[in-house]
Structure 1
Amino acid sequence: MAQSQKPQQLHFTWAFSWRHPEHVQHLILVGPAGFSAQSDAKSEWITKFRATWKGAILNHLWESNFTPQKIIRGLGPWGPDLVRKYTNARFGAYSSGSVLTTEESSLLTDYVYHTLAAKASGELCLKYIFAFGAFARMPLLHSAPEWKVPTTFIYGFEDWMNYQGAQEARKHMKVPCEIIRVPQGGHFVFIDNPSGFHAAMFYACRRFLSPDPDHESLPEGLSSA
């Protein structure tokens, strides 16, 4: 089984499952990007925003490979405080799901900070995979007919990644595909609603865990898209 979260990991995970399907029994993608292109009708907002001076600056920074990680590295000793403010806001007062405990928040802040402040690696390929706005330069939707392993997509109800891209891909896939949406969860659904996410994962793996998978019902609270 394989699971993806970061955009660059999605493409590597898909590429591996496509080239070596004999090593992947079931592909699980969590909040994946890479299905929508700039040419899609729903991307008109990014075209309009890019026409503004703010949009032009941000687009230039993106095309110059200027990433948020560079900001954190450049802040030096002030970096942890900025990350702490973000994690406290995102997974605290403004969280749509579970609120982290003080200890959990501290551990998450340390993890996120050290991940961002580490030497640049995967982030350097982002501009080549995505255009500004997280629109794929080569949408995976176009390769959907070539997918070779059963796939489950998991999205939080409030994920900013559009689950409708997965719905469109499913129309062209020749292998089993299901889309599960988890309530009280955004892009970080595994943190926002861990119990709901775990239920979705177990359901996705039912053919490997249950003696009677065909009669397993979708756990309460989850929805199939």
Structure 2
Amino acid sequence: MPSRFIYHAQDLAFLIFHSWLKLRWTPSSKTWLMRLDRTIRSRISHKNSADWVQVNHGGKVLDIWTVKVEGDVQGSVPLVIMHGMGGGANMFLNNIDDLAEQRDVILLDLPGFGLSSRPDLRVKYENGWWVDTSADDVEEFYTEVLEQWFQKLCLDKVILLGHSYGGYLSSVYCLKYPDRVKHLILADPWGFPQRPAAADMRPFMRNKALVLLSKLYGKMNIFTPLRVLGPLALPLFRICKLGLKTLFIVKLSGSTEDSADLIERQKLLRQDGLHVFPNTTMQDYCYMWMMHSQSGEVGFSRVSIPFGWARKPLVERVQAWDSKLDVTFIYGARSWIDSQPGLETKNQRHDNYVDVHIISGAGHHVYADRPKAFNHIVQMIGEAIDESRRPNISHEFEQRHLAMSSLRRRSSCASQAELLNDEAGIRQPRALSAHELAEMVESDSQSSNEEDNVGTSGRVMFSLDDVPAEKEHKTQTVLSGLEELSMRRERKSSFRSQPAAVMKNVKFSTEDNNEGSQRSEFQTD
């Protein structure tokens, strides 16, 4: 009875707290954000814990919110994940359990985002004056803070995965501390391409009102318009972030039958490793940390120029990466991020390992749009690192596509089942051995040679070795019937099929009769 009373008292206090929160212009709080964080992390199957890790920078103590997920295999190289702009550590909910099957997974809220501290990145104290920070200052801040964070967690060697803005910061970190990173995975990274010289010459930039509005918005931070809207921001944000519904959310209906169907669908999705929420949990999670003090977005404004271009493009600095650093780019085929800089990086570092993958059907949030395909690539990279070798995933995919093309030529039911179970050529039920691949390549070459011989000789040979014994007599009867039919057709003579020697005696004559008509006749000897 007392525990039940305490439970209802907590709900009542939370309700009163939310009622007071609605009186604020921007309804957000760190307490509400922590409650949402616990709700989301409760969907993780693996054992996990979250706490703040304290680091010191510029004489100030910063708290970095860190989520540790214990993997099934101990002793392997841990995976560190850095979120992008407008996201948080829990955005990788649909990836954590699959990735934790091989190794420990560590996620963090970058300083200025989520539940981490929000330092002032707008100005700095220099020579007795407060001056504006620059792109170099912001990059140095994140690089040194991340290095201290790695030291506090005793992470000597890691696989570093960064998405979007997190990919930019992880790339900058590897410019100074490459020895700590065994492999750098950049998921749809921001900040690589150069700003085109003709960016301001686009037709819509000729509109004076649009130019004025763009200049005004260029002076703001990204989430300033949401803060200006105040209490209208949350419902508007839920509408604008409808894309999250397809990734994490299933709408809950009021009827009991619909609720039962929803629970059943959620069970099926969880079996596939996908987590869903019957409300706006993920939308509220993103909204809560966006409405806090402006810190991370201020740092982003320092390293970027309108609109969305990097002030110091990374494609100009990839040559400064250490030659031992292995890099893998993972792009979404439907993303607004251009994959061309990844290919340019591969060309510039042709003597080093750089691999580029484009996942079909995925957008900017490639890890959430196609989680299984994304997880499979990351797992293959991790397996190669644990075996002290380079992944060489592109070569394996080429061999796999070659094997799949061989399977498509076969008519067996087993091959068709393998094709149906395959995930767009990225994942198949079992890995083909080198011997099987070699046999398939050899069979392809033999089949191509036979096709060439058919074109030269004009004769096609069929083998009936696979015909069962009980059907052999029936097959022979059918073949004999076909031969007799062909012989009858040869005996038939027609006017068109007569040889030229016979046709030479054909006589044609045309006579005009009295009625003005013509009469034609021909004779054959």
User: Is TM > 0.5 for Structure 1 vs Structure 2?
Assistant: yes
* CA-atom RMSD in angstroms: 2.7
Partner of 2:333: 157
Partner of 2:238: 84
Higher relative CO (Cα under 8 Å, sequence separation at least 6) belongs to 1
Distance 1:54 1:192 in 2: 36
Deviation at 1:127, TM superposition (A): 2.9
Partner of 2:424: 221
- Report 1:126-141 matches (<5 A): 126-141=300-315
The answer on 1:74 being equivalent to 2:277 is no
Deviation at 1:27, TM superposition (A): 0.6
The answer on 1:12 being equivalent to 2:169 is yes
Partner of 1:179: 356
Larger CA deviation: 128-137 vs 175-184: 128-137
Task: Pick from 101, 126, 129 the counterpart of residue 250 of structure 2.
Answer: 101
Partner of 1:26: 183
1:91-134 per-residue CA deviation (whole Å, 9 max, x = no partner) reads: 44xx6xx6742316622101211121121111112233222232
Distance 1:144 1:118 in 2: 34
Query: Do the aligned residues in 1 keep the contact of 2:191 with 2:314 (CA within 8 Å)?
Result: yes
Deviation at 1:69, TM superposition (A): 1.2
Aligned with 1:3: secondary structure?
A: strand
- Kindly tell me: are residues 56 and 100 of structure 1, through their superposed partners in 2, closer, same or farther at Cα, counting changes over 3 Å? same
Partner of 1:113: 287
Aligned with 1:196: secondary structure?
A: helix
The amino acid of 2:212's aligned partner reads I
- Kindly tell me: are residues 178 and 119 of structure 1, through their superposed partners in 2, closer, same or farther at Cα, counting changes over 3 Å? same
Distance 2:329 2:312 in 1: 19
- Kindly tell me: are residues 24 and 212 of structure 1, through their superposed partners in 2, closer, same or farther at Cα, counting changes over 3 Å? closer
Deviation at 1:160, TM superposition (A): 0.5
The amino acid of 1:52's aligned partner reads N
Aligned with 2:328: secondary structure?
A: strand
Larger Rg: 2
Q: Which has the higher helix share?
A: 1
Deviation at 1:58, TM superposition (A): 4.2
The amino acid of 2:228's aligned partner reads G
State the number of aligned residues.
213
Aligned with 2:241: secondary structure?
A: helix
The amino acid of 2:365's aligned partner reads F
- Kindly tell me: are residues 189 and 136 of structure 1, through their superposed partners in 2, closer, same or farther at Cα, counting changes over 3 Å? same
Distance 1:104 1:201 in 2: 29
Deviation at 1:212, TM superposition (A): 8.0
4+ residue stretches of structure 1 with deviation over 4 A? 209-216
Partner of 2:7: none
Please report the TM-score for the alignment, with normalisation by the length of structure 1.
0.81
Distance 1:16 1:46 in 2: 32
Distance 2:249 2:425 in 1: 22
Distance 1:172 1:180 in 2: 17
Partner of 1:51: 206
Aligned with 2:228: secondary structure?
A: helix
1:171-207 per-residue CA deviation (whole Å, 9 max, x = no partner) reads: 1124311111112210011222222221222233331
Distance 2:319 2:388 in 1: 30
The amino acid of 2:327's aligned partner reads T
Distance 2:199 2:288 in 1: 33
- Kindly tell me: are residues 46 and 36 of structure 1, through their superposed partners in 2, closer, same or farther at Cα, counting changes over 3 Å? farther
Deviation at 1:166, TM superposition (A): 1.0
The amino acid of 1:188's aligned partner reads H
The amino acid of 1:50's aligned partner reads M
Aligned with 1:161: secondary structure?
A: coil
Partner of 1:167: 343
Larger CA deviation: 212-221 vs 73-82: 212-221
Partner of 1:194: 371
Aligned with 1:109: secondary structure?
A: helix
Task: Pick from 358, 382, 405 the counterpart of residue 205 of structure 1.
Answer: 382
Deviation at 1:18, TM superposition (A): 1.5
The amino acid of 2:363's aligned partner reads G
Query: Do the aligned residues in 2 keep the contact of 1:145 with 1:172 (CA within 8 Å)?
Result: yes
Unaligned runs of 5+ in 1: none
- Kindly tell me: are residues 202 and 178 of structure 1, through their superposed partners in 2, closer, same or farther at Cα, counting changes over 3 Å? same
Query: Do the aligned residues in 1 keep the contact of 2:241 with 2:283 (CA within 8 Å)?
Result: yes
Deviation at 1:211, TM superposition (A): 8.5
1:23-58 per-residue CA deviation (whole Å, 9 max, x = no partner) reads: 111111111121222236xxx355324332254134
